[in-house]
């Protein structure tokens, strides 16, 4: 087990030794700061709620984090094949499953780290700049939502992270199967960002099979406001659909990686 932790640590070092990792983090924080600072100077009467700014920035930030995580997930395996360093990994006393699992865990930890830093930075910055006294979720998000906005934010962040895990796993699988980082990044972004634009149209389909389309269930936050895209759909059903897709993505990635001849 200790050796496996060292393997995960090694994969983390590969991620955090690259300048692009910090460039991505810098872009994320700079965008959040820019939105808050511009909002502060535009609101001359200082009536803007800190929590409304936080929710807006968290929604935007999650999209950016998804893009960045797709890039990291897609390049993690594909770059090993491109550079030929995958052979050096396979001659070490670790199974292929452990090698792939260590890369996968490192990517999920990167995504989690980005989310935590984003949330802390967003909350602290906006509480400093704006009035945080109005913390009722009904006033900030929707009259249908009860409780504090802080509790709503935590639920929102957790549900979004579940979607981020599924999206990351899809990109990871595509990179493992295709061995091409560029193809995996391009296809993942097209599926997640492009197809997602048509999600309301997909949800409007009157066919039963439409209940099982991945993209309809990716955004679990639709249940926080009790506004499911499909009539009669529940969070439990959406989670079950996501779990099935997740299992397929993981099984396909591991099967291909274990069976592929990488020594040639």
Q: Is residue 51 part of a domain?
A: yes
Measure the CA–CA gap between 24 and 136, rounded to whole angstroms. 33
Query: Looking up tokens 């700014």, which residue turns up?
Result: 53
If one counts the domains in the chain, the total is 1
Residue of 23, 31, 12, 21 lying closest to 69 (CA atoms): 21
Evaluate whether residue 264 is within a structural domain: no
Tokens of 258: 């274990």
Confirm whether 35 is domain-assigned: yes
Could you tell me if residue 47 is inside a domain?
A: yes
Residue 46 falls within a domain, yes or no?
yes
CA 99 to chain centre: 22
Instruction: Please report the pLDDT score of residue 262 as a whole number.
Output: 58
211 occurs within a structural domain: no
Give me the pLDDT at residue 264, please. 47
Rg (CA), the chain: 20
Alpha helices in 84-148 (DSSP H): 86-90, 96-129, 137-140
pLDDT computed for residue 246 by the predictor: 95
In this prediction, residues 25-31 reach a mean pLDDT of: 95
Per-residue pLDDT reduced to its tens digit, 145-186? 777 888 899 999 999 999 999 989 988 888 888 766 677 777
Q: What is the mean pLDDT of residues 46-71?
A: 89
- What is the span of the domain harbouring residue 147? 2-196
Is 220 domain-assigned?
A: no
Give the pLDDT band of residue 11 (cuts 50, 70, 90): confident
Q: How far is CA 100 from CA 72, 194, 203, in A?
A: 14, 28, 35
Q: Is the pLDDT of residue 247 over 70?
A: yes
In a domain, 236, yes or no: no
Grade residue 228 by pLDDT with cuts at 50, 70 and 90.
confident
**Average pLDDT estimate for 239-257:** 92
């Amino acid at each position: 087990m200790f050796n496996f932790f060292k393997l995960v640590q090694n994969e983390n070092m590969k991620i955090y030794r690259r300048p692009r990792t910090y460039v991505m983090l810098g872009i994320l924080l700079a965008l959040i700061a820019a939105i808050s600072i511009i909002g502060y100077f535009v609101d001359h009467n200082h009536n803007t709620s800190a929590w409304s700014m936080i929710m807006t920035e968290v929604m935007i930030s999650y999209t950016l984090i998804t893009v960045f995580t797709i890039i990291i997930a897609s390049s993690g395996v594909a770059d090993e094949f491109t550079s030929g360093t995958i052979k050096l990994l396979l001659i070490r006393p670790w199974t292929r499953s452990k090698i792939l699992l260590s890369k996968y865990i490192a990517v999920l930890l990167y995504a989690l780290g980005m989310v935590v830093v984003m949330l802390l930075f967003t909350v602290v910055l906006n509480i400093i700049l704006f009035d945080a006294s109005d913390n009722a979720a009904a006033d900030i998000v929707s009259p249908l939502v009860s409780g504090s906005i802080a509790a709503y934010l935590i639920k929102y962040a957790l549900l979004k992270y579940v979607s981020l895990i599924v999206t990351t796993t899809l990109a990871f699988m595509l990179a493992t199967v295709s061995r091409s980082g560029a193809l995996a990044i391009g296809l993942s972004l097209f599926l997640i960002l492009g197809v997602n634009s048509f999600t309301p149209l997909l949800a409007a389909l009157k066919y039963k099979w439409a209940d099982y389309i991945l993209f309809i269930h990716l955004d679990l936050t639709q249940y926080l406001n009790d506004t499911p895209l499909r009539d009669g759909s529940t969070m439990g059903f959406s989670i079950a659909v996501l779990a099935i897709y997740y299992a397929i993505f993981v099984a396909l990635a591991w099967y291909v990686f274990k069976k592929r001849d990488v020594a040639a």
